[in-house]
Amino acid sequence: MSILNRKKKDEQNAAPADEAKENAPSVEEKASAVNEEVKQAPKKETKGRGRLDPLIKSIQPRVREFRVSMKLLSKSFLAMLGLIIVITMVIIALLAPLLAPPPPEWRDTSIVPKYFNQGISPPGSTYFDPVHNRTVDFILGSGEDGSDIYYGVIWGAQTSIRLALVVVLSAVVMGIIVGAVAGYYGGKIDELMMRVTDVFLSIPGLVLAMAVIAVLKPTIDNIMISLVIVWWPSYARLIRGQVMTIKENTYVEAARAIGAKKNRILFRHIIPNAISPMLVSATMDIGSIVLTTAGLSYIGFGPPGVAEWGRMANEGAGYIVGFISYQGVSYNPYWIIFFPGMMIFLFVMGFNLLGDGLRDILDPRLRR
């Protein structure tokens, strides 16, 4: 009961209103008094490292959070497996010119080199190119028209990652803009934006993508455009839901109470808290986007000749039960479909496992 025994501001109770007013300086006076106080505070050395100090200090807690995340992630075997696959894929994509150097005269590295005279050949076969006077090794065999499977598999990683990142980032940005505006402002804007989103969501994704590609030309860039069109509505939905939950939080009201403007509340308070579930969804979608691209190319909507796994697998589709003859020996050319297919499988699985792991560590209930 010590609270009650404590002596209370007697003089305040006794003082009439105007005296109390004198004791309380006006807000402006107080504010300027504080400014003075701050200005008079000893100036810190702003030379050399001292200047960077606040920057370093404000980065430190973020690094600390990142370390906690990594520590949590490392506890899950599958998530780590996913992370390793993802990192390997990224390394393959970055080191593609070293791992599978294109022929010196090759201008567009995204096109798989072909040696028409070679035809389909099993892994490990070689070919002497009389035009450029050099020997070509087909480490993973060759496909139709003597296309280099190994080259395609390696450079396909670059195609896929570039495509998936561009599509996910564009779709996420569009989704955030539409979803955040709809969820935050609500009312008629919300209604309008969500109905537009519904229209996009009502058409099956693959069909919509095919339609877009059919109108444009089947190039990698157009595949990206078609996939962004297919993907943004689901992000818009997700973000809208998040924003609507988060805007009811007390800290958003607190931001209003201190007089923050709407944009500031949206960008500083709502969106940073709304994007973590999207991070999970985006990671998982990198896999699905590659899968859809592969599917599109497989059914013939892919750009011809490009190092893209789906298109390459498509080449081998006709030979699944067939046989070819190479240097007098009969082979089932499994390698045409197996190696690109394997890459698709690993790539999608890697991102899905990582996404699952991220979902677990980003869940605040599990975090602490």
Q: Write out the binding residues for another protein, residues 336-365 only, by CB under 8 A.
A: 364
Question: 239: which residues sit within 8 A by CB, 6+ positions away?
Answer: 175, 176, 178, 179, 180, 183, 274, 275, 278
Minimum gap (Å) between residue 278 Cβ and another protein:
14
Report d(CA 222, CA 214) in Å as an integer.
10
Asked if 126 interacts with another protein (CB under 8 A), we say no
Minimum gap (Å) between residue 35 Cβ and another protein:
7
Q: Helix count (H) and strand count (E) of the chain?
A: 18, 4
- Which of 25, 124, 204, 304 is in the footprint of another protein by CB under 8 A? 25
Q: Which is nearer to another protein, 41 or 329 (CB)?
A: 41
Tokens of 163: 């495509």
Q: Which is nearer to another protein, 15 or 166 (CB)?
A: 15
Tokens of 185: 């402002």
Q: Write out the binding residues for another protein, residues 219-258 only, by CB under 8 A.
A: 249-251, 253-258
Q: Which is nearer to another protein, 57 or 195 (CB)?
A: 57
Minimum gap (Å) between residue 5 Cβ and another protein:
9
Minimum gap (Å) between residue 251 Cβ and another protein:
4
**CA-based radius of gyration for the chain:** 30
Minimum gap (Å) between residue 235 Cβ and another protein:
20
The span of 23-31, 82-90, 107-115, 188-196 binding another protein (CB under 8 A) equals 23-31
Q: List the alpha helices (DSSP H) in 2-119.
A: 2-5, 10-14, 17-23, 27-40, 49-75, 77-94, 96-99
Total residues at interface with another protein (CB under 8 A): 51
Asked if 6 interacts with another protein (CB under 8 A), we say yes
Question: 127: which residues sit within 8 A by CB, 6+ positions away?
Answer: 115, 117, 118, 121, 135, 136, 138, 142, 146
- Residue 324 has what DSSP assignment? E
Q: Which is nearer to another protein, 54 or 124 (CB)?
A: 54
Site string for another protein, 303-322 (x = CB under 8 A): --------------------
- Which of 35, 74, 126, 325 is in the footprint of another protein by CB under 8 A? 35
Minimum gap (Å) between residue 360 Cβ and another protein:
18
Site string for another protein, 55-94 (x = CB under 8 A): --xx-xx---x-----------------------------
Cβ neighbours, 10 Å, residue 219:
14
Which of helix, strand or coil describes residue 137? strand
Tokens of 84: 């390793």
Q: Which is nearer to another protein, 58 or 135 (CB)?
A: 58
Q: Write out the binding residues for another protein, residues 255-284 only, by CB under 8 A.
A: 255-261, 264, 268-269, 272-273
- Which of 39, 107, 188, 195 is in the footprint of another protein by CB under 8 A? 39
The closest alpha carbon to 189, from 176, 203, 202, 179, belongs to: 179
Report d(CA 333, CA 324) in Å as an integer.
7
Q: Which is nearer to another protein, 24 or 131 (CB)?
A: 24
Cβ neighbours, 10 Å, residue 127:
18
The span of 25-33, 69-77, 89-97, 158-166 binding another protein (CB under 8 A) equals 25-33
Secondary structure E strands in 105-165: 125-129, 134-138
Q: Which is nearer to another protein, 132 or 262 (CB)?
A: 262
Evaluate the CA torsion angle 228, 231, 234, 235 in order and state its sign: negative
Q: How far is CA 86 from the centre of its chain?
A: 12
Q: Which residues bind another protein (CB under 8 A)?
A: 1-4, 6, 8-9, 12-13, 15, 17, 20-21, 23-25, 27, 30-31, 34-35, 37-39, 41, 44, 54, 57-58, 60-61, 65, 249-251, 253-261, 264, 268-269, 272-273, 364, 368
